[in-house]
Amino acid sequence: MAHSSKIFCCFSFLFSTLSIIPLSHQLEQHPLDSLTPIEFIRVQAIVNQSHPTTTNDITFQYIGLNEPDKQALISWLQNHRTTPITAPPPRQAFVIARINHQTHELVVDLLYDNIVSDHIHHGFGYPLLTFEEQNGASQLVFNHAPFLAALNKRGLKVEEVICETFAIGWFGETKQNGRVVKVMCYYLDGTVNLYMRPIEAITVTVDLEAMKITHFRDRLVVPVPKAAGTDYRESEQKEPFGPELKGITVVQPDGPSFIIDGSRVRWANWDFHLSFDARVGPVVSLASIYDTEKQEFRRVMYRGFVSELFVPYMDLTEEWYYRTFFDAGEYGYGLCAVPLEPLRDCPANAVYMGAYVAAQNGMPIEMPNVFCIFERNAGDVMWRHTETMIPPDLITEVRPDMSLVVRMVSTVGNYDYINDWEFKQIGSIKVTVGLTGLLEVRGSKYTHKDQIDEEVYGTLLAENTLGAYHDHFITYHLDLDVDGESNSFVKSKLQTVKVTDQTSPRKSYWKVVSETAKTESDAKIKLGSDSAELLVVNPNKRTKMGNFVGYRLIPGSVASPLMTDDDYPQIRAAFTEYNVWVTPYNKSEKWAGGIYTDQSRGDDTLATWTSRNRRIENKDIVLWYTLGFHHVPYQEDFPLMPTISTGFELRPANFFEYNPVLKVKGPSNVRWPNCSVSSSGLK
């Protein structure tokens, strides 16, 4: 095996440039559709032509849709229903490019093929890392004599070495370091599980602009963990095996119940738009639900997506302390999307969709099967009741819980994140993220826990293998428009009341005390201490009973940062200090870690935006929710980690006049293959 380099996002497919699609398709686009291959090509040409005298190649760090003004889009949607020939809002691209070693923010008009604005970024931080520059930096070590000598000293074969790049973070430096990364390497030689075989204590620093090694240090020799028992491939497993289960077939004899029209998805009572972004992955927009009582679609969410992922490791050793990753802002959560495996990642009834991103030179790259969409019937119950109080009748009514799932998997280095947006007939949007893949482990001299007499910042999982303590914080941008843009955020505490008079033999009860947040500071919440109902309501719309229509946030597992507020990674990730934030809608405020996250200093984050303490009552507001994991590794996480999941739910709260699925019928043509039913059960 020849030596190799490895970019941070793992891909199992080849990039390929797409043929240009017909212009007629462009005319049928929705204003929120992802950029098409022809649009990437046009953007590249426009930007290159606008800087003909550049002395360096222009590199495109990010190209994505510059979403239209919200009010203009809503107005167009309303008019488009009655007048389909209404011109859509201007179609534009937002570009971050490196030109002559400067970072340019450009807005490109795709109708008139010109540049609307070209701004040079002079502040702190740098844009997304590209695949090509990460790969180039990783390759440099194989021609660096001190590195080759370090491998030889350890008795390692260079052809079995694979390397990847790491963002360096910021740790109080007053002067900018320039666009640099650090390179860490791993050893194969008998396994494909390279992350379980780190080559420790070697530090290589690469200047990305000059593409050269600027620093090398070989601090000490640490044993490389053994390859035995680390390979996770099914074909490489040896007996004994676990019990084999019989097959389960997912069959929809009449085909799927959902319709995909371009990027628009319609299923049951839901209608939404699905697009893809290189930085954040799936973007769910214009989610509306049909109200059978009102005989109309009602707005729920204008736009929802993963805004940032913060993954700080707790290891303070020289080669580890800087590993405090911002997976979306540094590496691109969407860029790291991988093709989904039919029958493994998604069930047999799934439909797949691809996406496109830009290469470093601006040309389009195909990303096949990054989304799967499928209907789920997991045997759960949507609602039921058995009535025994009307003898001799026994009344039983049950409705199975059917839902629609949109899934994407992003493999950011060693971790695989399984992202689900699940739409339920009761009106809920359930968002789930599952963590699996491989731990980031540190090589160690220790082979048994009893040998450890110092702080090692992790768990000994196998001989010479320490699983580092770390966190995962995932922040979601949720622009809810509950029955319209003008919404308010209401926190309803459940307050215990003692009974002090003789009105009841009871001694206590609880009541609901509601408070409407007037400013951003009123809305910040750290979950876990008090019981609370968290609602986004439309104060201008009421039910027949007089309640404000709304949606409530039902959190999943709660985790908050344990680092101190003055720790540099936490300054950069101050948006994780609260689980819930609410801001007034601002088109430019969509990435919680700021536009330029690589080596950022925390001066452009969700936390700094909210310091203005703007008014949010009866406004167009955005709900931000951060879920988290504190990950203490255990031996069951070795050599790979079974999936652990959490999430949250957006659920109707007085949005409907009554149970919206009262009149929903169960699926027709339910079949039991290879079995029959008798009074005593299944045969």
Please give the Cα distance from 202 to 225 (Å, whole number): 15
**Mean pLDDT computed over 599-622:** 98
- The answer on pLDDT for 671 being more than 80 is no
Does residue 442 fall inside a structural domain?
Answer: yes
Do 641 and 522 share a structural domain? Answer: yes
Domain boundary among 71, 94, 120: 120
When comparing pLDDT for 648 and 252, which is higher? 648
- The radius of gyration computed from the CA coordinates of the chain, to the nearest angstrom, equals 27
Residues with a catalytic annotation lie at: 327, 415
User: How crowded is the C-beta side of 216, counted as CA atoms within 13 Å?
Assistant: 13
Which residue, among 66, 253, 177, 81, has the nearest Cα to 598 in the 3D structure? Answer: 177
How confident is the model at residue 85, as a pLDDT? Answer: 74
Does residue 158 fall inside a structural domain?
Answer: yes
Confidence tier at 667 by pLDDT (50, 70, 90): low
- The answer on pLDDT for 135 being more than 50 is yes
Does residue 84 fall inside a structural domain?
Answer: yes
Based on the number of CB atoms within 10 Å of its own CB, is 487 exposed (0-12), middle (13-18) or buried (19 or more)? buried
Do 200 and 278 share a structural domain? Answer: no
Do 540 and 423 share a structural domain? Answer: yes
Q: Which two tokens stand for residue 646?
A: 């959490």
Confidence tier at 81 by pLDDT (50, 70, 90): confident
Do 465 and 547 share a structural domain? Answer: yes
With tokens 């839901």, the residue in question is 270
Do 147 and 90 share a structural domain? Answer: no
Residue 525 belongs to domain with CATH number: 2.70.98.20
Confidence tier at 653 by pLDDT (50, 70, 90): very high
**Mean pLDDT computed over 625-639:** 97
Q: DSSP strand E in 499-618: where?
A: 508-516, 532-542, 548-555, 580-584
Structural domain range at position 625: 265-323+414-487+517-653
Confidence tier at 250 by pLDDT (50, 70, 90): confident
- The answer on pLDDT for 209 being more than 60 is yes
Q: Dihedrals φ, ψ of 152, to 5°?
A: -65, -40
Based on the number of CB atoms within 10 Å of its own CB, is 181 exposed (0-12), middle (13-18) or buried (19 or more)? buried
Does residue 563 fall inside a structural domain?
Answer: yes
Please give the Cα distance from 636 to 633 (Å, whole number): 8
pLDDT (tens digit per residue) in 290-345: 999 999 999 999 999 999 999 999 999 999 999 999 999 999 999 999 999 999 99
How confident is the model at residue 677, as a pLDDT? Answer: 35
- The answer on pLDDT for 6 being more than 70 is no
Answer for the pair 309, 327: CB distance below 8 angstroms, yes or no.
yes
Answer for the pair 561, 310: CB distance below 8 angstroms, yes or no.
no
- The answer on pLDDT for 16 being more than 60 is no
Q: Which two tokens stand for residue 579?
A: 């689980």
Which residue, among 634, 630, 607, has the nearest Cα to 313 in the 3D structure? Answer: 630
Answer for the pair 342, 360: CB distance below 8 angstroms, yes or no.
no
Domain boundary among 74, 101, 120: 120
Do 204 and 80 share a structural domain? Answer: no
Does residue 616 fall inside a structural domain?
Answer: yes
Task: Give the number of domains in the chain.
Answer: 3
Do 628 and 546 share a structural domain? Answer: yes
pLDDT (tens digit per residue) in 342-373: 999 999 999 999 999 999 999 999 999 999 99
Please give the Cα distance from 277 to 410 (Å, whole number): 12
- The answer on pLDDT for 505 being more than 50 is yes
**Mean pLDDT computed over 224-243:** 95
In terms of phi and psi (left: phi > 0; alpha: psi -120 to 50; beta: otherwise), the region of 427 is left
Confidence tier at 597 by pLDDT (50, 70, 90): very high
Residue 145 belongs to domain with CATH number: 3.10.450.40
How confident is the model at residue 52, as a pLDDT? Answer: 85
User: How crowded is the C-beta side of 296, counted as CA atoms within 13 Å?
Assistant: 5
Domain boundary among 120, 155, 187: 120
Do 532 and 462 share a structural domain? Answer: yes
Confidence tier at 4 by pLDDT (50, 70, 90): low
How confident is the model at residue 190, as a pLDDT? Answer: 96
How confident is the model at residue 24, as a pLDDT? Answer: 33
Do 217 and 106 share a structural domain? Answer: no
Do 147 and 60 share a structural domain? Answer: no
Which residue, among 440, 352, 346, has the nearest Cα to 640 in the 3D structure? Answer: 440
Please give the Cα distance from 248 to 574 (Å, whole number): 46
Taken in order 138, 142, 146, 151, the sign of the CA dihedral is positive
Pairing outcome for strands 161-167 and 4-5: parallel
Do 298 and 221 share a structural domain? Answer: no
Does residue 163 fall inside a structural domain?
Answer: yes
CA distances from 395 to 47, 381, 401, 667, 678 (A): 69, 17, 20, 20, 20
**Mean pLDDT computed over 640-658:** 97
Which residue, among 32, 622, 653, has the nearest Cα to 284 in the 3D structure? Answer: 32
- Judged by average pLDDT, the poorest of 43-47, 56-60, 215-219, 497-501 is 56-60
Q: Report the alpha-carbon angle 390-396-399, nearest 5.
A: 150
Do 274 and 212 share a structural domain? Answer: no
With tokens 């390759």, the residue in question is 139
Contacts of 599 (CB under 8 A, 6+ apart): 124, 125, 126, 167, 168, 169, 170, 176, 177
User: How crowded is the C-beta side of 511, counted as CA atoms within 13 Å?
Assistant: 6
Confidence tier at 101 by pLDDT (50, 70, 90): very high
Q: Which amino acid is at 8?
A: F
**Mean pLDDT computed over 445-474:** 98
Contacts of 61 (CB under 8 A, 6+ apart): 96, 97, 98, 103, 127, 128, 129, 130, 360
How confident is the model at residue 23, as a pLDDT? Answer: 32
Q: Report the alpha-carbon angle 406-411-416, nearest 5.
A: 75
Does residue 293 fall inside a structural domain?
Answer: yes
Does residue 346 fall inside a structural domain?
Answer: no
- Average pLDDT over the chain reads 92
**pTM over 0.85, yes/no:** yes
- Judged by average pLDDT, the poorest of 1-10, 199-208, 481-490, 664-673 is 1-10
- Judged by average pLDDT, the poorest of 243-252, 277-286, 423-432, 562-571 is 243-252
Q: Which two tokens stand for residue 62?
A: 């990010």
When comparing pLDDT for 172 and 13, which is higher? 172
